[in-house]
A and B are shown apart, each in its own frame.
Chain A
């Protein structure tokens, strides 16, 4: 009996000890991140100082690919980090299928991009698509976290609140910019706003025209909340950026399924023109290591060889354009990547002599024609972008340039104005259109020798002038589509359609397909026609 009691007692004791162990330790499972660089959402937004940092990330979504420069801690996964950077993916999508550029690397399905025979499984299209919607999600999160009521709950004072409200308007602009890219490249896409919580749900697809209306309404709504033109700090947008985007949206309205909105194009490009910006005297200066000092740039993504590094952006363009017998040192880099060249049809847009200073080709050892797209020596190389300062000397790093990437330029406002007037927009005049175009050409030629007369100012001339002025800045695909020259057989360039001489292509390629990865993830989506 005593034995038994003793047994029960010790079993009892054991159970007690056991339970104490167990329950005390189960609480250990509630962990929060230990790293100082990692904070929970709640902690982030309780500190006013963090709002600027989160906004900076929303901007940096356009500039870099992750939280380490030039790579590491990637924002996206499953993609090569360099390819997945926003403006590099944008350059690929807007320039490679056109007459302006060819990239001689045998990377995955890159070739399909250049030959205009891509499919919904093309990884570079998926890169672009992923970046756009990542950027939209980043904006949605910031907008969701900065509602008036949340700011009040967190106890911020009025000054702090008004600062955050400005940030919020800028985030809405950046979201509109990415939705504009989606509208332009993919047409009808999944649609989410700050009203949708983070998590697994299946967004509905918005029609292209509804998306047009949404982007327009957002830009109009935030216009008054943004800083007046030329008043915000470098690297952030102001009202002029909103006008630029509105003008571009309206200029392409017919492509997007709306009736022509050329009058609105005139209105908003005029606002930019009248805001006091000036054209840069030296074209090349806008693409150099100290281009933050250049005139004529309304908004640029700032890069720095020490602080803001990526394998995309201007790092990609400058390194990839150098190869062959070009001396890397002349571009402020340690070595070229032997990639980008121009196609001969684009070279021919320039006069044969060197009077137009925007004609920046390197021809030694290069053939004009491209018999082999993988051979750097086929096709003229381009010297437009450099990591060299206008005052001489290179940027701080031999791989990652200081050169900023212009997103909105005054010259584009001039050309949009002229085109909209020619297309019947009211509120402007043909003579001012001619004047603006000639201003651009005067800068390009360094004299009035290149000026044109009213008869020469045709729509066709404007398309070519846009190529000469804006090449390798991400405009070309959109421009060619607006002129009906991207697909089909109206205009052929080398390797269009996969043969050197170029062949007519299917009109379905005016839109990129919704990547099959997203069709698989979201059954609400309907693929674009033809894919």
Chain B
């Protein structure tokens, strides 16, 4: 498969080269292209004979040579400069002077509470525009930028339609508190949890509506968001109309086929029969249980799934009312049978301005209604353990016909009898008023009102007498109904002043105030379907507020020296009044070295040094809005206590830490932006160090001192340090042909440096990372001197044939016994280095692109193998269960969950996306543009990992919904 792609690629390439080599007869023209600003030669400028494919580019001294028709016109173009058409008029020498285009000067990047000219930016900021998004992404916007940015690791949660993704920017700076970046959509900071009953909070926005993804990485860029910026900030802006733009309609549609890539190897029916016959030779009871069917249970639960997606949008500018409206419909089927996502999205952006542009209004609304049918993912594990010799409708039963609960459940029953559905409606909108003072236009006042409202309704139904909830006693069948409503509101008010002092310096100052309120309530009721037994009836209602004052000062001297200061004072209702406010400063300095007179712009065209420092905070506990308060909680049904003949609803005093406060992360960043060959090659290098102190952490309380055994408090320090590198090159840039290549690499190490209030070398750490197999077993640990989530396991001893010896581990503490104390810390799930690569090639109307990723040093605990990794209880009384074939390698009789045999290196290379498209321009008398493209996703994975997929964020591979391979065919019509 891979070979064929490369062959196709080279043929395509060769064809392009040959066509470029054919040169028309005519006169020879030569000359030099220089920069209007300083007369320096411009390298790589495209010179083309207009209307033909004949062209050249300037050499390293700015010189060019081309043979053209004597009366032709030269089309001269260069990135960032204004293009020119120059008639040849039979001249042999033409020198060309090019000016930097106004547009390039105006190129801005979005930052918190405003924008900054790209060349004035001092922080580590990376923006990706829609034209560079990964194509063919239907429901998870995060996937559009996977692998595109250094330091940003995006891991999808699995292969479910619209699955969420975990985003980590420069590793995680927190342990117990959220490590998710803050996401700001059109100026509204949304809460990362999203509504319940929805797989991905970001799928509220249709990927077709997104204009840019901007990632703020270092503290000098993020600190203006203070309290929630420790893990980076992602700013998403949606597409808008622009003034004077003609009306246009655009339709995007696609159909796609998803299919599973590979199966976990388990014993086939014949192999299983043989295994039982040999392993349980004397056990006739077990032999008698074997069936005579031949069922591949994985084949039964998975399918090839068809999905489709449609999006229609209208853009235009009715005099002073630019608008964009869109409506989208998505219907995605999961590869796990019964799994489905149906979504309707709508968006409206109005950006009118009044009073001679003094008052600008932005109204932005995004609405979504999402119907989910969640397949029971228990069927994935069930398909591995169910006896392959049984027919598809087989169920393990007791002699009396009731379910044998300890036996594996038929995975098809798990799918068919489990009706888990939800409907989520969400509205995310904001209104921004920006008023430029009439008598003092340098000062703008901006008011931003935002609302994020959602309603979720869901239910899980299991029919009466289904084996999934069977009971011979009262209450059979299950009906769970849950509901949630969330309202988050926001008010930002700030002033923005921009001033020019003489010709040498500029100042931009922003100062303002922000108020946010997060509110949620909901309830869950679970009842039996017959006899009306209530199993659960619980409700909740909670809120928290964040109030902030913030300011930023940007000062630019001589276009060379850039200074930024920000300050944010944040108040969170989650902390007691005396600890409530946190002050988060940052400072950054940047030096545009390439603007210095001594800088010679020949090969190197841009060089900027950036230095940044800042402190950011963290207060996101998501599960508790009142952690500092002494509160009592009443019991829900089922946890009452009997006094005499009454059942008393109990009331429990809860544990709390009155002194809980902000977690603080200090970041140092050293960055270098570079450009070569008139910025045909650009990129950046960043070096950072981040130290988090007063980690919001859950640690054991000294016994007897609090009303719980573990408390959320501020204890511990954590460090992340890393290096990021990115490079983008326009390998070819002519009118007919473009080829852009991109590559980025990130290195991050993470280390916990403190975990306890008092130093205690005997303290092992915080056990974490629950596994399947046994109850309450954990495989990871946070401990001092090691990365977070380090694996904590026993060192397997192998025999001379390299086979693991069951139960024999290295006695690491040398106490003469092999116990749990011989566990050691080994590796971690996060990659040490991760890279992304992309290629975007266009020849005339044909384009071809691909992108992929490489992860190095990410380790995985293969829990699929370990939980099914022994011959024990394959034939217990009354039932049989299958095993993964890996058990033949270990020959373990009993499960060895803690053996480091199961820790594998998950390093991988993935070709995530490969796409070919063709544009039919100017159809129907120039009225219609049509684009047809096809995309293959998740095409190739190269890894040594023996499980299904080496991309496991938690590092514990346990029946994760497999990511499918997707083939998608799409069209885009613009009228």
Binding site for B on A (CB under 8 A): 3, 6-7, 10, 14, 18, 21-22, 25-26, 28-41, 44, 50, 52-54, 56-57, 59-60, 63-64, 66-70, 72-73, 75-80, 82-83, 105-110, 112, 117-119, 121-123, 129-130, 133-134, 136-138, 140-142, 189-192, 196, 198-203, 233-236, 302, 304-309, 323-325, 327-329, 332, 334-338, 365, 372, 374-377, 394-399, 498, 516-523
Separation of A20 and B876 alpha carbons in the complex (Å): 73
Cβ-defined partner of A398 (8 Å) among B472, B493, B705, B709: B472
Q: Is the CB of A200 within 8 A of B702?
A: yes
**Beta-carbon contacts of B395-408 to A below 8 Å, as 1s and 0s?**
00011101111100
Cβ-defined partner of A38 (8 Å) among B515, B633, B655, B778: B633
Q: Is the CB of A329 within 8 A of B706?
A: no
Q: Is the CB of B544 within 8 A of A133?
A: no
CB distance from B497 to the nearest CB of A (A): 11
Q: Is the CB of A130 within 8 A of B703?
A: yes
* B704 in the interface (beta carbon within 8 A): yes
* B24 in the interface (beta carbon within 8 A): no
* B470 in the interface (beta carbon within 8 A): yes
Separation of A35 and B533 alpha carbons in the complex (Å): 25
CB distance from B510 to the nearest CB of A (A): 14
Given contacts A31-B545, A307-B638, A327-B399, contact A77 B708 (CB under 8 A): yes
Q: Is the CB of A516 within 8 A of B763?
A: yes
Q: Is the CB of B630 within 8 A of A41?
A: yes
If A34-B542, A235-B641 are given as contacts, then 7 extra A-B residue pairs at C-beta distance below 8 Å, sorted by A number, are A33-B626, A108-B774, A109-B820, A199-B657, A302-B641, A308-B639, A374-B872
Cβ-defined partner of A60 (8 Å) among B641, B775, B872: B641
* B250 in the interface (beta carbon within 8 A): no
Q: Is the CB of A201 within 8 A of B776?
A: no
Q: Which residues of A lie under 8 Å from residue B873 when comparing CB positions?
A: 374-375
Q: Which residues of A lie under 8 Å from residue B710 when comparing CB positions?
A: 76-78
Q: Which residues of A lie under 8 Å from residue B708 when comparing CB positions?
A: 75-77, 134, 137
Q: Is the CB of A38 within 8 A of B634?
A: yes
Interface residues of B in 516-574 (CB under 8 A from A): 517, 521, 533, 536, 538-545, 547, 549, 571-573
CB distance from A324 to the nearest CB of B (A): 5
Separation of A516 and B767 alpha carbons in the complex (Å): 12
Separation of A118 and B820 alpha carbons in the complex (Å): 8
The 3 A-B residue pairs with the shortest CB-CB distance, nearest first, are: A69-B638, A335-B405, A233-B644
Q: Is the CB of B639 within 8 A of A398?
A: no
Q: Can you report 29 A-B residue pairs in the complex whose CB atoms are below 8 A from each other?
A: A6-B439, A10-B437, A31-B545, A35-B540, A35-B541, A37-B539, A37-B636, A38-B631, A40-B630, A41-B631, A56-B650, A57-B635, A68-B536, A68-B635, A76-B708, A83-B776, A118-B819, A196-B705, A200-B701, A200-B711, A200-B713, A304-B642, A307-B640, A308-B640, A334-B405, A335-B402, A372-B872, A397-B533, A498-B817
Q: Is the CB of B897 within 8 A of A106?
A: yes
Separation of A78 and B572 alpha carbons in the complex (Å): 26
Separation of A403 and B955 alpha carbons in the complex (Å): 42
* Interface size of B in residues (CB-CB distance below 8 Å): 115
Q: Which residues of B lie under 8 Å from residue A38 when comparing CB positions?
A: 626, 631-634
**Beta-carbon contacts of B451-471 to A below 8 Å, as 1s and 0s?**
000000000000000000011
Q: Which residues of A lie under 8 Å from residue B92 when comparing CB positions?
A: none
Q: Which residues of A lie under 8 Å from residue B872 when comparing CB positions?
A: 372, 374-375
Given contacts A57-B650, A67-B650, A397-B475, contact A22 B776 (CB under 8 A): no
Q: Which residues of A lie under 8 Å from residue B644 when comparing CB positions?
A: 233-236
Cβ-defined partner of B538 (8 Å) among A68, A192, A377: A68
Binding site for A on B (CB under 8 A): 398-400, 402-406, 437, 439-440, 445, 470-475, 491, 493, 495, 513, 515, 517, 521, 533, 536, 538-545, 547, 549, 571-573, 577, 580, 625-626, 629-645, 647-653, 655-659, 698-711, 713, 756-758, 760, 762-764, 766-767, 773-778, 817, 819-821, 872-873, 876-878, 894-895, 897
Cβ-defined partner of A78 (8 Å) among B543, B706, B709: B709
Separation of A498 and B400 alpha carbons in the complex (Å): 39
Q: Is the CB of B702 within 8 A of A119?
A: no
Q: Is the CB of B652 within 8 A of A67?
A: yes
Q: Which residue of A lies closest to B475 (CB)?
A: A397
Given contacts A30-B577, A137-B706, A200-B713, contact A377 B636 (CB under 8 A): no
Q: Which residues of A lie under 8 Å from residue B626 when comparing CB positions?
A: 31-33, 38
Separation of A305 and B539 alpha carbons in the complex (Å): 22
Q: Which residues of A lie under 8 Å from residue B515 when comparing CB positions?
A: 21, 25, 28
Q: Is the CB of B756 within 8 A of A60?
A: no
Q: Which residues of A lie under 8 Å from residue B704 when comparing CB positions?
A: 133, 136-137, 140, 190-192, 196, 203
Separation of A38 and B973 alpha carbons in the complex (Å): 56
Q: Is the CB of A198 within 8 A of B709?
A: no
Q: Is the CB of B649 within 8 A of A73?
A: no
**Chain B interface SS verdict (over half):** loop
Q: Which residue of A lies closest to B658 (CB)?
A: A199
CB distance from B400 to the nearest CB of A (A): 7
Given contacts A22-B513, A83-B775, contact A57 B652 (CB under 8 A): yes
Q: Which residues of B lie under 8 Å from residue A35 when comparing CB positions?
A: 539-542
CB distance from B947 to the nearest CB of A (A): 21
Q: Which residue of B lies closest to A130 (CB)?
A: B709
Given contacts A29-B580, A141-B653, A335-B405, contact A518 B702 (CB under 8 A): yes
Q: Which residue of A lies closest to B473 (CB)?
A: A398
Q: Which residues of B lie under 8 Å from residue A136 when comparing CB positions?
A: 704
Q: Which residue of A lies closest to B537 (CB)?
A: A68
Cβ-defined partner of A203 (8 Å) among B403, B406, B702: B702
Given contacts A28-B573, A192-B704, A394-B473, contact A53 B634 (CB under 8 A): yes
Separation of A397 and B547 alpha carbons in the complex (Å): 50
Q: Which residues of A lie under 8 Å from residue B705 when comparing CB positions?
A: 137, 192, 196, 198-203
Q: Is the CB of A201 within 8 A of B702?
A: yes
Q: Is the CB of B643 within 8 A of A235?
A: yes
Given contacts A33-B629, A53-B648, A521-B699, contact A7 B440 (CB under 8 A): yes
Separation of A302 and B700 alpha carbons in the complex (Å): 30
Given contacts A60-B650, A308-B647, contact A66 B573 (CB under 8 A): no
Find the residue from A50, A56, A60, A130 having the highest chain B CB count within 10 A.
A56
Q: Is the CB of A39 within 8 A of B776?
A: no
Q: Is the CB of B541 within 8 A of A34?
A: yes
Q: Is the CB of A67 within 8 A of B629?
A: no
Q: Which residue of A lies closest to B626 (CB)?
A: A33
Q: Is the CB of A14 within 8 A of B495?
A: yes
Q: Is the CB of A69 within 8 A of B643?
A: no
CB distance from A112 to the nearest CB of B (A): 6
Find the residue from B641, B766, B821 having the highest chain A CB count within 10 A.
B641
Cβ-defined partner of A334 (8 Å) among B471, B538, B638: B471
Cβ-defined partner of B642 (8 Å) among A122, A307, A397: A307
Q: Is the CB of A324 within 8 A of B651?
A: no
Separation of A67 and B819 alpha carbons in the complex (Å): 35
Separation of A201 and B540 alpha carbons in the complex (Å): 32
Q: Which residue of A lies closest to B709 (CB)?
A: A130
CB distance from A157 to the nearest CB of B (A): 22
Separation of A334 and B472 alpha carbons in the complex (Å): 7
Q: Is the CB of B651 within 8 A of A53?
A: yes
Q: Which residues of B lie under 8 Å from residue A117 when comparing CB positions?
A: 817, 819
Q: Which residues of B lie under 8 Å from residue A334 when comparing CB positions?
A: 402-403, 405, 470-473
Q: Which residues of A lie under 8 Å from residue B517 when comparing CB positions?
A: 28
Separation of A52 and B709 alpha carbons in the complex (Å): 24
Q: Which residue of B lies closest to A140 (CB)?
A: B704
Q: Which residue of A lies closest to B823 (CB)?
A: A121
Separation of A407 and B775 alpha carbons in the complex (Å): 27
Q: Is the CB of A304 within 8 A of B647?
A: yes
Q: Which residues of B lie under 8 Å from residue A236 when comparing CB positions?
A: 643-644
Q: Which residue of B lies closest to A399 (CB)?
A: B471
Q: Is the CB of B632 within 8 A of A80?
A: no
Q: Which residue of A lies closest to B625 (CB)?
A: A31
Find the residue from A59, A134, A305 having the highest chain B CB count within 10 A.
A134
Q: Which residues of A lie under 8 Å from residue B655 when comparing CB positions?
A: 198
Q: Which residue of B lies closest to A52 (CB)?
A: B648
